[in-house]
Structure 1
């Protein structure tokens, strides 16, 4: 991705487009050992701590609402919705982030703001002043800070990690994220039981402080902003990012596939899957938790093996396989029957295969998207993704609730599997299945898009 705009149609190698001196001496685009790159290791450590802290809040925040404030099911649902709502503004926030050169500093501020907001909860609880409105405000504002962090993340990641190591870096980040889902809920449950939910939130707040410190350590040579603050308006800049995604064949197919698979998998989501396991499969809560814990190891395995699989099959084909393997196992759960051990085993297998599939999908597609997005539009591209990809999730959850009420949970699981697997249809006519490696990624700037494209000569893809 070039540091400055290139004339439309200009072609050059992706690895050379960042200019000399972008990475630490001895860490080149061709041979990058992330285990010896202290900048990446610090960044990775920060993200790991933050992910484990998030797993605590995933459990603690709803329990604050239920246990401390006696919230109803509808009020808990609104709390979840408020966390996702700021993503509807991600397109504008991404344009705002693109105006700033020091995107890493924005990430640090976002982490510190989230820590401060979370710390207000135990303080208010200790003073007897905690209210549902306060909890809603924290959910909304931390969600907004998360959007700023995530839209800046893409640009920082691209200049922290050499292109040759995108897959390896995304794999490592996904491994610890997957591990947080295996270990985090149990640790969070123990903290909530020992300290109460409002106090357990302190652990997540401290994880954001640690993340801010570790993210702030690496020195990164970031490119100049695409436009200064006196340039085009935010809505116009936001539109440029969205238009670029829509007109680019790789990014358009990537976003269409991601949004489709997210809509259908959110028809079921964790909530309805737990409800199905309890009511239809008649499993005890402890057995359900064990099945989910065992199933989560699939995501861990997928994150570890995704780079090797992509080297064997090609990065594009790995994305396509993951797009099908992620949602398809929900059909397996729909037909679960027999003794309790068989029903629990089927539930665990569903989670294992779906987790493996989503990591195969995410690790490869995240790397592909990073290579495809130009520097001048990175945060706006990330904003467009968040607006569509995350904005579709609440709609999927609402549609899933309606479908389950009318047609039943088993039917909803089957629709999730079939509809989600059909997301691969976005990929088939696109260049993605033919891309074997990031070095082959080739861009032809569509007519009318900002002239920020970068290309690499592409070797012939597989037959």
Structure 2
């Protein structure tokens, strides 16, 4: 394993640079498809709010179906091979959409299948990439490494979603989806350059799969700080998904704005994420880890209540400013929260810890999409936006009311800790 000579220098590790560049390509594909796929449903297939909600639900449903066992599987698998296979699967799935469109055979059913299977591949990619990161850079470099990755994801939100909206407007949504497929293929090829020798996996543990999953769940839910981080992130995801699911309908159908405007709006949110990620480390150094999370939530989370005011003219800018501030808060949370949970978890449990968080967090996205579609049909788009914004405004409370608020430093490194395989934690 290659560890940088300085604890805050992940860039000294060649494999981290490879993982970072591959993640950039993968995130570009993810964000372009994030804009293009629902716009295909709305503009080309005349999808209703309920159908758009179903599409968004299926895109994250895999985390509920296989999210927990995926963690146990990742802990036993060769992670580079896993990441490559996941990206190749996503490239093939997205390539099928423009092919069907050109053959005049594209249906909502195919879109449903593509986003569901893409979600399954994303489960393994996300859990695997978060689990391999501490092994590549060492735990002393996790804050800077996570800040770099979260900043990259936020920048990809800006570039990818902005590019997605522009590609849809200029070249049609199916061509934009093809570009997403090419980005995932390029990511898979880049990951082949990772040289880190895979850690030899020991013999299969005595525990069955269910017991291994339960061990990871107990680790997260049995710790007050990890539990609070999970609850805050889950409510944030629930609220943001309720809002984001209705935005294509609001922008394109109700406000009559071009696809590029939606891409720019989502891109502005990505800019907020980027700024939050970049400033998380200096803020934590000045205020302390826990206080930064608490203050960011208390001051910035209520700005989400401006999002439902979206409209033409100045209201678009006011709502956009609120969305940027809300996403800034989430950018801070992502860097500090992910680092904290990685530092509080032994190497043996990283896959299952990450899978448990992904199950809860992305499960909240699936629920949020379903709720958004249902509310959109029953009470309308505007009322649904208010529900999502209200959840975002109060999402910080679990962390604010937990011991996380008083934590100034990261916990001691646990890189060498071994989890018992014979007794529950």
Please state which band the TM-score falls in when normalised by the shorter chain: 0.7 to 0.9
Q: 1:180 aligns with which of 153, 156, 167?
A: 156
Q: 1:243 aligns with which of 194, 218, 228?
A: 218
Taking only aligned residues, the RMSD between alpha carbons, in angstroms, comes to 3.5
Q: Which has the larger radius of gyration?
A: 1
CA displacement, residues 332-363 of structure 1 (integer Å, 9 cap, x when unaligned)? 456799xx754233212202211211101111
| Contact 1:324-1:423 within 8 A present in 2 as well | no
Q: Counterpart of 1:241 in 2: which secondary structure? A: helix
Q: Counterpart of 1:436 in 2: which secondary structure? A: coil
CA displacement, residues 350-399 of structure 1 (integer Å, 9 cap, x when unaligned)? 02211211101111101111111222121111221122221122333444
1:104 match: 80
Which stretch of the first structure deviates more once superposed, 193-202 or 169-178? Answer: 193-202
Q: TM-score scaled to structure 1, two decimals?
A: 0.78
1:232 match: 207
**Runs of at least 5 residues in structure 2 that lack an aligned partner in the other structure:** none
1:366 match: 338
* Structure 1 position 309, deviation (Å): 1.0
Give runs of aligned pairs for residues 300-379 of structure 1, distance below 5 A.
300-325=274-299, 327-333=301-307, 342-379=314-351
Q: Find the aligned partners of 1:177 and 1:438 in 2 and give their Cα distance.
A: 23
Q: Find the aligned partners of 2:347 and 2:364 in 1 and give their Cα distance.
A: 26
Q: Does 1:76 align with 2:48?
A: no
Q: Counterpart of 1:427 in 2: which secondary structure? A: helix
Relative to total residues, which structure has the larger helix share, 1 or 2? Answer: 2
CA displacement, residues 298-343 of structure 1 (integer Å, 9 cap, x when unaligned)? 2222122111111111122222234445531122456799xx7542
Which stretch of the first structure deviates more once superposed, 282-291 or 350-359? Answer: 282-291
C-alpha spacing 1:330/1:150, structure 2 compared with 1 (3 Å): same
C-alpha spacing 1:413/1:321, structure 2 compared with 1 (3 Å): farther
Q: Counterpart of 1:329 in 2: which secondary structure? A: helix
C-alpha spacing 1:371/1:215, structure 2 compared with 1 (3 Å): farther
Q: How many residues align?
A: 421
CA displacement, residues 271-299 of structure 1 (integer Å, 9 cap, x when unaligned)? 259739996xx796677766655554322
C-alpha spacing 1:54/1:221, structure 2 compared with 1 (3 Å): same
Q: Counterpart of 1:23 in 2: which secondary structure? A: coil
| Contact 2:91-2:180 within 8 A present in 1 as well | yes
Q: TM-score scaled to structure 2, two decimals?
A: 0.85
**Runs of at least 5 residues in structure 1 that lack an aligned partner in the other structure:** 1-21, 454-463
Q: Find the aligned partners of 1:429 and 1:131 in 2 and give their Cα distance.
A: 47
1:32 match: 8
| Contact 1:240-1:449 within 8 A present in 2 as well | no
| Contact 1:329-1:354 within 8 A present in 2 as well | yes
Which stretch of the first structure deviates more once superposed, 360-369 or 371-380? Answer: 371-380
Give runs of aligned pairs for residues 378-417 of structure 1, distance below 5 A.
378-400=350-372, 416=388
Q: Does 1:253 align with 2:252?
A: no
* Structure 1 position 157, deviation (Å): 0.9
CA displacement, residues 149-175 of structure 1 (integer Å, 9 cap, x when unaligned)? 112122211111222221212222222
Q: Counterpart of 2:302 in 1: which secondary structure? A: coil
C-alpha spacing 1:60/1:341, structure 2 compared with 1 (3 Å): closer
